[in-house]
Chains A and B, each alone.
Chain A
């Protein structure tokens, strides 16, 4: 360390003798002192952070830690500002840009570039190869974007684990009886003995008055005694439909609806999951229901359409069996 210091002093002396580039500034001792004090205070605050961290379990620990670190950074910034403003010798230099010289320079550079290519004989081929390389690299950079949407692989949105006869179970695996499903509330259900994490697994169950149901043509038998089941995955962005609004007094209140909490897409369970409000572009897929001899709820087939968020062309696709 001492050696290093000596070396530094030696260097400094040597430099004194050379001709100066930056003009000598008058020393500003008060500013220098202030900078030193600021830096020392900064060090103190930073050390206070370490001490507070070690002490732990103080009241307002987080606030104290934040204050210590924040004040330390502020003091450091203040010191830097003071150095920049008062201690470093500055001068402003302005020179007109030499136009003439620039012309000569550009010409020169053009010639250098031109002449450097004198070894190349098949210029066009080289340019084409370069284009091929750049184009392919660009393509490679864009390729991962395919993972953003199911452009090429949309099968899993049709292949739900629901098959005819599969029982509906709750999150603990207990099968639902049709009589378990009460009005004015909603239930989440999953296919028995299938992965509940699959996008096609979760459904939401509600019971309405059979007389209030107006299901689309061909889906009249999807409901069972007023019980309807829809995919729990919103067709907009794939959030879970976790809101059910039900009117207490129907004449003055909004109609029953399934609502997605992410962007407030609102679906009508009485009309086949049609969109009442919000950004969703297509209805919720409906699951046909049936009841077995013991009263358990079972699926009568697969969903009425593809499950999950929409993608290009999904509305034109017809439901697959």
Chain B
């Protein structure tokens, strides 16, 4: 029963997520032409981020972590997926419509990375990767949560996002920083070359070889069984009713 509920939930959630999020009240600060990028970022930070992340990225106790050691990597990740600014800091940050312009994001990344030493934005090269090695790595490190088809799933307490829309840079950033409940994978555990292979594998999951033609969400035997029971069995019973004849009782 619990399984069925979870399944219904899983089927219902993507449609909910597809709806446009409400405008989170971005403040587009007017920036005079010729303003240095970092200074523009500081103004945007004060208007949009400081309430939770505190003055100069010192963080606040209950609403937002400190940002003086996250560098360009995490800042770029959260801004480029549209997760920040977040409406409710107690919600899981998820991919939504990006409301900040590319220039505004660049300015914020420049400002936040100036607050303290932190990792730079990685640049993976999927073209140099090896899909087969990537699949092995993905199975070992990622598939437990993201599923081997990179369709996402659940971990207790959070939704695991699908990777269909993630850019190569975002994938590399997530691996290195571990957003929300995701573990961090350092260069010791997954080297940059292995990261290339991982992105190469994730590319192939976007055009899967569905020999059967109908993927049914790539989530395995349960929906396949449902198709058998709910469609094929119904048709079969219908045909039986059509060709059979009820014995008359007198």
Cross-chain contact A254 with B211 (CB below 8 angstroms):
no
Do A243 and B144 form a contact, CB below 8 Å, given A184-B178, A253-B181? yes
Cross-chain contact A249 with B65 (CB below 8 angstroms):
yes
Chain B residues whose CB sits within 8 angstroms of the CB of A249 once the complex forms: 64-65
Query: Is B246 in contact with chain A by the CB < 8 A criterion?
Result: no
Describe A's contact surface by its main secondary structure: mixed
Cross-chain contact B158 with A245 (CB below 8 angstroms):
yes
Other A-B contacts than A81-B243, A185-B186, A266-B156, 14 sampled, CB-CB below 8 A, are A60-B213, A85-B243, A182-B184, A183-B184, A185-B183, A242-B143, A245-B157, A245-B181, A246-B182, A248-B178, A252-B62, A253-B180, A254-B156, A259-B155
Closest partner residue, chain B, to A254 (CB atom) = B157
Distance in angstroms from B202 CB to nearest chain A CB is: 18
Cross-chain contact B156 with A245 (CB below 8 angstroms):
yes
Binary contact readout B119-163 vs A (1 if CB under 8 angstroms, 0 otherwise) = 000000000000000000000000111000000001111100000
Q: Which of A243, A252, A257, A277 is B89 in contact with, Cβ under 8 Å?
A: A252
Cross-chain contact B243 with A84 (CB below 8 angstroms):
yes
Q: Which of B144, B154, B213 is A63 in contact with, Cβ under 8 Å?
A: B213
CB<8 Å pairs between A and B, sample of 19? A62-B211, A63-B213, A81-B243, A84-B243, A94-B250, A182-B188, A186-B183, A245-B156, A246-B178, A246-B184, A248-B65, A248-B180, A249-B65, A251-B62, A253-B180, A259-B156, A264-B155, A264-B156, A278-B156
Cross-chain contact B181 with A264 (CB below 8 angstroms):
no
Distance in angstroms from B158 CB to nearest chain A CB is: 7
Query: Is B189 in contact with chain A by the CB < 8 A criterion?
Result: yes
Chain A residues whose CB sits within 8 angstroms of the CB of B62 once the complex forms: 251-252
> When chains A and B are docked, how far (Å) is the Cα of A43 from the Cα of B63?
71
Q: How large is the interface on A (under 10, 10 to 19, 20 to 34, 35 or more residues)?
A: 20 to 34
Distance in angstroms from B161 CB to nearest chain A CB is: 14
Describe B's contact surface by its main secondary structure: loop
Query: Is A158 in contact with chain B by the CB < 8 A criterion?
Result: no
Cross-chain contact A254 with B243 (CB below 8 angstroms):
no
Binary contact readout B211-224 vs A (1 if CB under 8 angstroms, 0 otherwise) = 11100000000000
Query: Is A261 in contact with chain B by the CB < 8 A criterion?
Result: yes
Q: Which of B155, B179, B213, B250 is A248 in contact with, Cβ under 8 Å?
A: B179
Closest partner residue, chain B, to A77 (CB atom) = B239
Chain B residues whose CB sits within 8 angstroms of the CB of A87 once the complex forms: none
Chain A residues whose CB sits within 8 angstroms of the CB of B212 once the complex forms: 62
Closest partner residue, chain A, to B190 (CB atom) = A185
Query: Is A276 in contact with chain B by the CB < 8 A criterion?
Result: yes
> When chains A and B are docked, how far (Å) is the Cα of A182 from the Cα of B65?
20
Query: Is B207 in contact with chain A by the CB < 8 A criterion?
Result: no
Cross-chain contact B145 with A261 (CB below 8 angstroms):
yes
Chain A residues whose CB sits within 8 angstroms of the CB of B213 once the complex forms: 60, 62-63
Chain B residues whose CB sits within 8 angstroms of the CB of A182 once the complex forms: 184, 186, 188
Chain A residues whose CB sits within 8 angstroms of the CB of B211 once the complex forms: 62
Chain B residues whose CB sits within 8 angstroms of the CB of A186 once the complex forms: 183
CB within 8 Å of B: which A242-288 residues = 242-249, 251-254, 257, 259, 261, 264, 266, 276-278
CB within 8 Å of A: which B191-220 residues = 211-213
Q: Which 5 residue pairs across A and B have the least CB separation, nearest first?
A: A242-B144, A254-B157, A245-B181, A249-B65, A184-B184
Query: Is A180 in contact with chain B by the CB < 8 A criterion?
Result: yes
> When chains A and B are docked, how far (Å) is the Cα of A247 from the Cα of B93?
12
